[in-house]
Structure 1
Amino acid sequence: MKLSDDFFERMKIILKDEYNSFVESLKLDRAKGIRVNTLKLSLEEFKEISPFSSLEPIPWEERGFYIKDDKPGKHPYHQAGLYYIQEPSAMAVVPALNIMPEDKVLDLCAAPGGKSTQAACYLNSKGLLVCNEIEPKRAKILSENIERMGIKNAVVTNNSPRELEKVFKGYFDKIIVDAPCSGEGMFKKEEAAIQDWSVENVEGCAVRQREILESAANMLKAGGYIVYSTCTFSFEENEETIDYFLKKHKEFELINIEKNFGFKSGLYEYFDNENLARAVRLFPHRLKGEGHFIALLRKNSGEDFSYTPLKSNVKKNELKDYYIFLTENLNIEIEENFYLTGENLYSFPKNLCTLKGLKVLRTGIHLGSFKKNRFEPNHALALSIIDRDAKRSVNLSSDSEEIMSYLKGDVIKAKVDDGWCLMLVDGYSIGWGKAVKGVVKNHYPKGLRL
């Protein structure tokens, strides 16, 4: 489908003498990347077992690599959460936020989960990660990706920014606003981005982005940071949105992002605000990536708020079947921040406040469900633990027929004692099985099966 003439005329204004180079870059194949999940293995370990024909480092994210291979989502390592498929320039956003362990981090527009799962690696299973998505179907995908990556300290919500604001006012240390946008950096990947593009859509996105930033500002504590990003090139959705926000919010300042790796300064010359040069633009003709805008905002002052901590809503004597499961099948103890929703038991992150009034899809690790006189572990628990945590395990080779059979939902024959088994691919957890007399019943979730 042909790109709009209006789009090209706008890009001529933005890029000036770089315009022709930009147009030529649109004819090239899009850059493909994966990011290693260091919650599960080190970069060195991944390089040793990598299923890809080549790994070229992405310079702005040490966990990121360019790949050339097609269909990286088909390998069992993907199902095991050893890596996340992510557009390379999108990996530049989270590093700008300088996330530290113990931070409370919000990813406000989080689906499908690229930046959330990246932030989780920086938190390294400490602190708190709240991942929100307003669209229910996309929120479900987000929750599945949080689960697949084995993230222990994440809460997944399905609310509007305004609804979140009522609960989390002045709460977070760091906030990611990867704002819904006109998607001009997605033209190579999604035909719909071309079809949906119009000047009116650009302007509509800008209005929505300002509203989202407003809510983010109210949820950030004094001294905290917001990273604002889009995968589009328009003035309205980038510098103009930031300029509007800064004029309204004198308590915020724009922090400089280093102009390395081909990053270009924010286009300040069109506005009465030279500080906009502190933001960065990633253009596909200047680096291997499809394009992004990134601005880092610091909140210098604000009110202090107090919060009611979330407390366990289940008594120890109600957890009898869970403790039986734990004793018979695992070698670990799980932090006892228990929360029961219906028959589903979660272990929620410390320092989490009450979530009253919010639609919550995942409150930490989904440990499992209480059935009649038994406790059945959840897939999320399997993906959050490692081989030595389980009393029994079955290890399948990534290039074997057995692992493909397991991912299809078939039973597996194995010499293993009866009971729940942690299923592994090349030593990394991928799900549950339950062994009875040398036959392992498959508990890989039906919705995920090949």
Structure 2
Amino acid sequence: MFDSLTEKFDSVFKKLRGHGRLSEENIRDALREVRLVLLEADVNYKVVKDFVASVTARAVGQDVLKSLTPAQQVIKVVRDELGLLMGEGEDNSLDLAARPPVSIMLCGLQGAGKTTTCGKLALKLRKEKRNPLLVPADVYRPAAIEQLKTVGRQIGIPVYDTQPGQDPVAICEAARHFADLNGYDTLILDTAGRLHIDQELMGELSRIKASLDPREILFVADAMTGQDAVTVAKAFDELLNITGVVLTKLDGDARGGAALSIRAVTGKPVKLVGMGEKLDALETFHPDRMAQRILGMGDVLSLIEKAESAIDRDQAADMEQRLRKEGFNLETFRDQLQAVKKMGSMESILKLIPGAGKALKKAGDMQLPDKELKKIEAIINSMTRRERRDHRILNGSRRLRIAAGSGTTVQDVNQLLKRFTEAQKMMKKMQKLGPKGLKSLMGRGGGFPF
């Protein structure tokens, strides 16, 4: 989502780095460009004005101007202020410390992704050892109830049985009673939305709030709508006193204005972000990490968390043991590929590695498309176990059979084997170089073989 913003910030800071020493004039010129970058990203005008004023006050201080690396100090100031703008230092965790069943009410306009977000949130809470119940309280939109039931079936989480035409407040009250009797500790309420704000919608949401007293009232905003999302969030907050915001479609190509403005305008924290269409693509929002992503610094902590959640410790230990015993062959490579796939798309993973996304973008032909990785996996799966463990036995007839079995061409098989051979050489170099092997190779332009 922030690719364009990251590129423009990088361009501004590159000019700063070009000066040996910085003057107040250099910094003010750079911050004028930062102001334009943020306005182009559809960030609220008042938010931009306050942000630039805060950065200027800190950046033209003597500590920055007299430092050995003033350009880096300015970048640090911008990073810090971006983090504060998005709520760094505040508690943005879900508050579920109450007598169960605890109610979480999701609200917002139609099309923002409330129903899907309900499913994602339920899955996330179950991973955190909670026992959620989904409640379809949108009785107006065609198939809304069925949509939530379908989502519930996909993730194996129960959905309270609701019928069109029922009163939404009565549904929520009955669902709470059902949850209390059946041991569910969390109610996730999927409320109705409209294409615009109207009195009927707001009246209904107010009655649900008065009846259930939800612990969390989360406004679901489509990040693709920019400033509109901020305006609507403010209106919902004025009526319902929302406790937080969920930004959906943060993996899209929106300019980022909503993500940067919504907390400053509403005063309410962004608690969760949707990072993809899959039902496990809902993440806790970390303002400091997001600031680093925007400035192209990567997000190693999120990468580690993704790896820990996707790869079982016993599995990882077994993989390490096999690598030591069998070496790096096509079979161990396939297993590593499958483990990495659980972490999400290659593009999303690379954006978390400092400098990797930019390096691959410049390389052009060194992309890691997910379709290409699926093809590689299909080719390896079409081999016998012996072939996967020793690719040197793959003669012409074997390659022809593998290509036919994987729905690819002999040229594809040959290309994979060529790249794999390069990867093997790289692995041997890394083992000789030790822990700093990968960093050293990347510094020499070794890059990724796949």
TM-score (normalizing by structure 2) = 0.28
Larger-Rg structure: 2
More helix by share: 2
TM-score (normalizing by structure 1) = 0.28
More strand by share: 1
